[in-house]
């Protein structure tokens, strides 16, 4: 399971901590249905800016290590909280995007979704052919996750032998609960993070260091034992 920290070395800011500011704003201020209702232009300007920033970033060695891992395991699932699309660009396919994708839009009238890679957007806020306002197809604070995606993530957590938890502060529900589900089901839990988190106390191993360095060396060790 991955969080924003895995993309930090690609140049994508994380959400929390010292560098957790996205252009003057905190995610809690703009990643909400209320912020969108009050000022869709401001929210879209923020997303347009983030899309531009992410478009300039490349997947790093940690994304690539996970993409390689999936080609070796019989039952491998990559659960990511990230919306940046860097895992796919590194080659991952067996993945669940818990919080959606910044590269998908959803019509607020019709509920239809489609990919949109336009950077910068030609019109802010963007609208659908039906006239409805479009929104980013991401999960904002207080919104529900896609039940199918969440169900698949719970199932993967319940049956896993090994869970790697990489670059997440492990504080946002329900993603944070997946680690305890895996642990109670008997999985071996390894955390990779530059600092300790609430998860560290009950992880079987905590590897303190940057993901782009630690994950490839962990994978090299695992691969040798396969």
Size of the site for ligand BJW (CB under 6 A): 38
87 is catalytic: no
Count of CB atoms within 10 A of residue 28's CB? 12
Q: Is residue 174 at the binding interface for ligand BJW, with CB under 6 A as the rule?
A: yes
Rule CB under 6 A: is residue 105 a binding residue for ligand BJW? no
Smallest distance, ligand BJW to C-beta of residue 146, A: 9
Q: How far is CA 14 from the centre of its chain?
A: 10
Identified binder of ligand BJW from the candidate list 141, 152, 158, 206, rule CB under 6 A: 141
Sign of CA dihedral 63, 64, 66, 70: positive
Name, in order, each residue with C-beta under 8 angstroms of 100's C-beta and a sequence gap of 6 or more.
Answer: 83, 136, 137, 138, 139, 146
Output the residue with the shortest Cβ distance to ligand BJW: 5
Q: List CB contacts of 208: < 8 A, sequence separation 6 or more.
A: 193, 194, 195, 196
Q: CB of residue 19 vs ligand BJW: minimum separation in angstroms?
A: 8
3-state DSSP assignment of residue 203: coil
Q: Which of 72, 87, 99, 184 is catalytic?
A: 99
Per this entry, what is the length of the chain?
226
Which member of 5, 40, 85, 125 binds ligand BJW (CB under 6 A)?
A: 5
| Contacting residues toward ligand BJW, per CB under 6 A | 3-5, 8-9, 14-17, 20, 27, 31, 81, 83, 99, 138-145, 150, 167-169, 171-174, 192-195, 197, 210-211
Residues annotated as catalytic are 99
């Amino acid at each position: 399971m991955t969080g924003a920290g895995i993309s930090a070395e690609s140049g994508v800011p994380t959400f929390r901590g010292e560098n957790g500011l996205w252009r003057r704003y905190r995610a809690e201020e703009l990643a909400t249905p209320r912020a969108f209702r009050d000022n869709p232009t401001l929210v879209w300007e923020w997303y347009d800016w983030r899309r531009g920033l992410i478009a300039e970033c490349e997947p790093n060695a940690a994304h690539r290590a996970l993409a390689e891992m999936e080609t070796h395991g019989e039952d491998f699932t990559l659960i990511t909280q990230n919306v940046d699309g860097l895992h796919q660009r590194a080659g991952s396919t067996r993945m669940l995007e818990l919080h959606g994708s910044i590269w998908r839009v959803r019509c607020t009238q019709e509920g239809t979704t489609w990919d949109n890679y336009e950077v910068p957007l030609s019109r802010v806020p963007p609208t659908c052919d039906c006239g409805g306002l479009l929104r980013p197809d991401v999960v904002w604070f207080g919104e529900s996750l896609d039940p199918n995606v969440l169900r698949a993530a719970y199932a993967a957590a319940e049956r896993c032998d090994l869970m790697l938890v990489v670059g997440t502060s492990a504080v946002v529900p329900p993603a944070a609960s997946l680690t305890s589900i895996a642990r109670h089901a008997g999985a071996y839990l390894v955390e990779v993070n530059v600092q300790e988190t609430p998860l560290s106390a009950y992880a079987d191993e905590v590897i303190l260091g940057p993901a782009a360095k630690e994950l490839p060396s962990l994978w090299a060790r695992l691969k040798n034992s396969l």
